């Protein structure tokens, strides 16, 4: 409020006192000034001086001196006592006549005394008056400060009340502003929503004019063509989600028609491009013979340029799933355009498959060319068939590469989809051509060809990882080989094995075949008496398989030789594929029946003992093969009619004496009790074989146990003779010492008990 000089101003009284004394009489320094603490005043002393001295002491205060500041409370007492003693000792009486002596010669004594007294009073009171004036001035200043502070407090109180009033008004204004802002935001949201939803209606007219304009086919190469398709999808979805909006069904129909028209433009451009390339390739192939390089360019090189010529928009449309399909389940179920897109892709795939029709005739033509050139199938079937398979596998791989350029990662690339199956079927259709071409060479009752071919494919394509440029090539060739084997060669192999097994039934044995005695090792085999299939099996690849299968094969029955050869060939595979039990069942079943027929002939022409030994010897060979080669179960599932419900129903009617009552048949007929049921049976050929084998061994051992188990001492010689006879019989029939020992053990088992 005031400057700092008001509060820090303190006048110096000593300087004013000196100035006042200097401006008055300019008295000498020796008359009034005290010197260095000496309180004695020079001059005469007497009664008059004492009187003036007392008067001077009564009229004026003593000279003020500055006391030393106390450092503590105890020190304050000492300083105060010392100061009082000093004042009492240091007081001196001024000479009242000193000023009179100065001016005696000039004025009267009374006047000079009064003047001197007045000056002394003024001089002694001047400092205190100055202090009083300063105190008065400070009081006035403090009063002003107090009044100003009071005014400031009153002003602040007024301002506080004003601020409270403003705050209340501001709060009300703020709430009104917030209401206005919320209304503004609501209106803005409504405006944005209306504007957003309005664009789904406003998009119809410009797009209609654009698609109906001349030269609309060039739209598929424009940069915004895919955005246009996405917008059409979005508009159709919007109309489908808001059926209550005005004219939503009409706009939905019109947008759907525009989408169909857009997709038809793509489909027409795609079809025209493929048709031009296909017609040119077909024409070039008909004109003259082409080299392999020229054929590849015509059938694959020109097709690879089609997708790039159509533009990146069509390529992205065919190779992405972001247009008609969702990421998880394929189709977007809520979308109303779900039918247009699948129909479009179906037409595109059909067009592509139709454009690949020239490849099939070319493959068949090339295969026939291989058959007419060296190596020929009659002389070197192995090299011929491998050349044909490698050529067709290359065609399938080239087809896969071309399909990837058109549809990789697109909606048709899903292996579980219908369109993907059609593409795969077209790609592997050349395998069917190869199979049809090779079937006459493989179905000539020579099982070694089909077995050698399947083993080569399994070893080189299904189990081996060598001789392939990349993982992609290896996987593609592996899949192609698996399709060829699974759909064509393995079923053909099973059919040929079943055919060979069925021929066992028609075998006509000769008297030499019915001999149970061991034949000499150098004796030639009458090949005219063997089964026709056994002649086909005697090849270089599998010639020793049956002889190594079980000891005693050289003296086995021909049908047993054939069955063992078939079982070994069928089980001897590189790739562990699922083997059907029908083939194993048929082979073992036919061999068992042929042995039973032969045993019947032997029993009729010779003795029952020879028939038993014949069955035991041959059936043991097959049983031993099952154990040594770990053949799978020879099980066939057979369905038969069961007439048991019919007979039970008839018996029940007969018990109720309603057998001839037509009305009694209605209820059983409605419940199905008068119809036969279909029952599934599991037929196991190995169990049938073991059953016959056990029966014959049991009968054989019981007969010889009865002859060798007689305890009568009188018949000891006959027992020894029977023992020698049995040992000679077993040695003449069985080459294997283990089999003879096992039979001896079973015969003597009764004697141990």
152-166, 298-312, 462-476: which has the minimum mean pLDDT? 462-476
What DSSP line would sit under 56-96, residue for residue? HHHHSPPPP-PPPPPSSHHHHHHHHHHHHHHHHHH-----T
Separation between Cα atoms, residue 17 and residue 25, nearest integer Å: 13
Q: At what angle do helices 558-571 and 447-457 cross, to 10 degrees?
A: 20
> Is 107 a residue whose pLDDT tops 90?
no
Q: How far apart are CA 197 and CA 208, in angstroms?
A: 19
Residue 716 region by backbone torsions, left for phi larger than 0, else alpha for psi between -120 and 50, else beta: alpha
Q: Which residue has the tokens 């000193």?
A: 98
How far is CA 726 from each of CA 379, 465, 514, rounded to the nearest angstrom?
Answer: 53, 58, 20
Residue 156 has pLDDT above 90, yes or no: yes
Higher pLDDT, 246 or 90: 246
Question: Cα–chain-centroid distance for residue 609?
Answer: 71
Query: Is residue 432 within 8 Å of 491, Cβ to Cβ?
Result: no
Query: Which pLDDT score, from 0 to 100, does residue 216 have?
Result: 82
- Of the two residues 45 and 481, the one the predictor is more confident about is 481
Question: How far apart, in whole angstroms, are the C-alpha atoms of residue 710 and residue 398?
Answer: 82
Each as own residue / partner, the long-range contacts of residues 595-602 (CB below 8 Å, 24 or more positions apart, any chain) are: 595/557, 595/559, 595/560, 595/619, 595/692, 596/692, 598/509, 598/513, 598/514, 598/557, 598/559, 601/509, 601/514, 602/514, 602/516
Residues whose CB falls within 8 Å of the CB of residue 306, separated by 6 or more in sequence, listed in order = 273, 274, 277
Q: What is the mean pLDDT of residues 566-580?
A: 75
Angle at 575 between CA 570 and CA 579, to 5 degrees: 45
Q: Specify the 3-state DSSP secondary structure of 471.
A: helix
d(CA 268, CA 347): 10
CB-hemisphere CA count at 13 Å for 204?
18
Displacement of CA 712 from its chain's centroid (Å): 86
Mean pLDDT value across the chain = 77
Residue 710's pLDDT band (cuts 50, 70, 90)? low
The whole-angstrom distance between residue 252's C-alpha and the CA centroid of its chain comes to 37
How many whole angstroms separate alpha carbon 700 and alpha carbon 451? 40
- Mean pLDDT along residues 689-695: 89
684 phi, psi to nearest 5 deg = -115, 110
DSSP 301: I
Residues of the chain above pLDDT 90, percent:
18
Burial degree of 185 (CB within 10 A; 0-12, 13-18, 19+): exposed
Mean pLDDT lowest among 182-196, 444-458, 674-688: 674-688
pLDDT of amino acid 68: 58
pLDDT tens-digit map of 357-396: 999 999 999 999 998 887 788 888 899 999 999 999 999 9
Helices (H), 656-715: 666-670, 685-708
The pLDDT, as a whole number, for residue 8 is 46
- For residue 132, pLDDT over 80 is answered with yes
pLDDT of residue 221 exceeding 80:
yes
Task: Work out the pLDDT band at 13, boundaries 50, 70, 90.
Answer: very low
Look up the pTM and report it.
Answer: 0.65
Beta bridge partners of 639: 680
Provide the β-strand partners of residue 663.
none
pLDDT above 80: residue 143 = yes
Computed on alpha carbons and rounded to an integer, the radius of gyration of the chain in Å comes to: 67
- The three-class DSSP label of residue 579 is coil
HSE value, Cβ hemisphere, 13 Å, CA-based, for 442:
25
pLDDT-derived band at 44 (thresholds 50, 70, 90) equals very low
Contacts with 42 (C-beta within 8 Å, 6 or more apart), sequence order: 30, 95
Q: What is the mean pLDDT of residues 476-500?
A: 90
For 713, how many CA atoms within 13 A lie in the half-sphere containing its CB?
Answer: 0
Closest CA to 254 of 202, 203, 204: 204
Tens-digit pLDDT profile for residues 293-304: 999 999 999 998
Q: Give the contacts of 548 (CB within 8 A, at least 6 positions apart).
A: none
Is 585's pLDDT higher than 60?
A: yes
Torsion of CA 493, 495, 496, 502, to 10 degrees: 150
CB 119, CB 24: distance < 8 Å: yes
Can you give the pLDDT at residue 536? 41
**Domain map (residue ranges) of the chain:** 4-28+39-144, 203-442, 451-753
Give the tokens for residue 482.
Answer: 């698996």
- Comparing 70-74, 158-162, 573-577, 712-716, the range with the smallest average pLDDT is 70-74
Whether pLDDT at 60 is above 90: no
pLDDT at site 275: 93
Distance, in Å, from the CA atom of 296 to the CA atom of 302, rounded to the nearest integer, reads 9
Using alpha carbons, select from 67, 85, 86 the residue that is nearest to residue 76: 67
pLDDT value of residue 16: 43
Beta strand 677-684 with 635-642 is antiparallel
Q: Identify the top-confidence range among 519-528, 598-607, 707-716.
A: 598-607
C-alpha closest to that of 126 among 15, 10, 5? 15
Task: Check pLDDT > 60 for residue 502.
Answer: yes
Question: Cβ(438)–Cβ(350) under 8 Å?
Answer: no
157 vs 12, higher pLDDT:
157
DSSP for 195-222, please give it. Answer: HHHHHHHHTHHHHHHHHHSTTGGGGGGS
Summarised one tens digit per residue, pLDDT across range 312-341 is 888 888 888 777 644 333 444 445 456 788
Query: What b/e sequence results for 42-68 when a residue is b if at least 16 CB atoms lie within 10 Å of its CB, and e otherwise?
Result: eeeeeeebeebbeebeeeeeeeeeeee
What is the DSSP code (8-state) at residue 663?
G
What does the pLDDT average to over 57-76? 56
- Cα–Cα distance measured from residue 563 to residue 567, given in angstroms and rounded to the nearest whole number: 6
CA-based torsion, 529, 535, 537, 543: positive or negative: positive
pLDDT on residue 546: 44
Q: What pLDDT was estimated at residue 539? A: 43
């Amino acid at each position: 409020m005031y400057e700092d000089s008001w509060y820090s101003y303190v006048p110096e009284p000593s300087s004013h006192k000196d100035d006042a004394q200097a401006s008055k009489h300019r008295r000498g320094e020796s008359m009034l000034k005290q010197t260095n603490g000496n309180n004695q005043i020079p001059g005469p002393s007497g009664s008059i001086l004492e009187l003036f001295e007392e008067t001077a002491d009564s009229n004026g205060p003593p000279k003020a001196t500055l006391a030393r500041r106390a450092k503590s409370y105890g020190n304050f007492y000492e300083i105060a006592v010392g100061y009082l003693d000093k004042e009492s000792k240091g007081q001196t009486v001024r000479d009242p006549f000193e000023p009179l002596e100065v001016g005696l010669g000039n004025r009267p004594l009374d006047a000079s005394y009064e003047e001197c007294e007045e000056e002394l009073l003024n001089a002694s009171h001047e400092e205190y008056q100055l202090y009083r004036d300063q105190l008065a001035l400070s009081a006035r200043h403090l009063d002003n400060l107090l009044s100003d502070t009071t005014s400031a407090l009153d002003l602040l109180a007024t301002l506080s009340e004003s601020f409270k009033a403003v705050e209340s008004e501001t709060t009300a204004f703020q709430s009104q502003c917030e209401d206005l802002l919320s209304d503004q935001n609501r209106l803005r949201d409504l405006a944005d929503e209306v504007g957003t939803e309005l664009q789904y209606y406003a998009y119809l007219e410009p797009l209609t004019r654009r698609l109906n304009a001349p030269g609309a086919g060039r739209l598929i190469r424009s940069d915004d063509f895919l955005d246009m398709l996405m917008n059409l999808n979005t508009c159709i979805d919007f109309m489908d989600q808001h059926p209550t909006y005005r004219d939503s069904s009409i706009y939905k129909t019109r947008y759907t028609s525009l989408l169909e028209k857009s997709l038809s433009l793509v489909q027409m451009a795609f079809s025209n491009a493929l048709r031009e390339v296909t017609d040119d390739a077909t024409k070039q192939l008909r004109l003259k013979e082409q080299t392999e390089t020229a054929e590849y360019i015509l059938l694959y090189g020109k097709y690879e340029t089609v997708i790039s010529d159509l533009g990146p928009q069509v390529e992205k449309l065919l190779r992405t799933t972001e247009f008609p399909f969702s990421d998880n389940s394929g189709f977007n179920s809520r979308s109303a355009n779900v039918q247009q897109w699948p129909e479009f892709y179906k037409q595109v795939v059909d067009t592509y498959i139709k454009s690949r029709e020239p490849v099939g005739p070319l493959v068949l033509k090339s295969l026939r060319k291989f058959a007419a050139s060296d190596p020929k199938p009659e002389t070197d079937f192995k090299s011929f068939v491998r050349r044909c398979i490698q050529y067709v596998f290359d065609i399938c791989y080239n087809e896969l590469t071309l399909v990837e350029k058109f549809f990789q990662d697109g909606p048709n690339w899903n292996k579980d989809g219908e369109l993907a199956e059609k593409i795969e079927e077209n790609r592997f259709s050349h395998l069917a051509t190869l199979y049809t071409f090779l079937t006459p060479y493989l179905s000539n009752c020579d099982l070694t060809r089909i077995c050698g071919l399947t083993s080569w494919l399994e070893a080189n394509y299904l189990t081996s990882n060598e001789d392939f440029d990349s993982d992609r090539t290896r996987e593609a060739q592996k899949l192609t080989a698996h399709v060829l084997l699974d759909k064509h060669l393995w079923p053909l192999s099973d059919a040929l094995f079943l055919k060979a097994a069925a021929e066992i039934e028609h075998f006509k044995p000769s008297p030499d075949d019915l001999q149970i005695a061991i034949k000499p090792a150098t004796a030639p085999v009458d090949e005219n008496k063997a089964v026709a299939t056994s002649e086909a099996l005697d090849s270089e690849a599998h010639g020793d398989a049956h002889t190594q299968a079980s000891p005693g094969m050289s003296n086995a029955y021909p049908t047993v030789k054939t069955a063992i050869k078939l079982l070994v060939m069928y089980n001897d595979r590189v790739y562990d594929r699922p083997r059907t039990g029908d083939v194993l069942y048929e082979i073992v079943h036919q061999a068992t029946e042929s042995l039973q027929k032969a045993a019947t002939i032997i029993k009729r022409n010779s003795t029952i003992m020879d028939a038993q030994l014949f069955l035991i010897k041959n059936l043991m060979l097959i049983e031993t093969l099952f154990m040594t080669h770990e053949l799978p179960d020879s099980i066939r599932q057979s369905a038969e009619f069961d007439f048991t419900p019919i007979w039970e129903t008839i018996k029940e009617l007969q018990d109720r004496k309603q057998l001839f009552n037509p009305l009694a048949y209605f209820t059983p007929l409605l419940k199905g009790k008068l119809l036969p049921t279909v029952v599934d049976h599991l037929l196991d050929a190995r169990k049938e074989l073991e059953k016959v084998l056990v029966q014959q061994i049991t009968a054989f051992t019981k007969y010889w146990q009865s002859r060798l188990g007689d305890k009568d001492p009188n018949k000891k010689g006959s027992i020894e003779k029977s023992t020698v006879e049995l040992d000679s019989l077993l040695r003449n029939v069985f080459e294997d010492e283990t089999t003879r020992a096992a039979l001896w053990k079973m015969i003597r088992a009764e004697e141990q008990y």
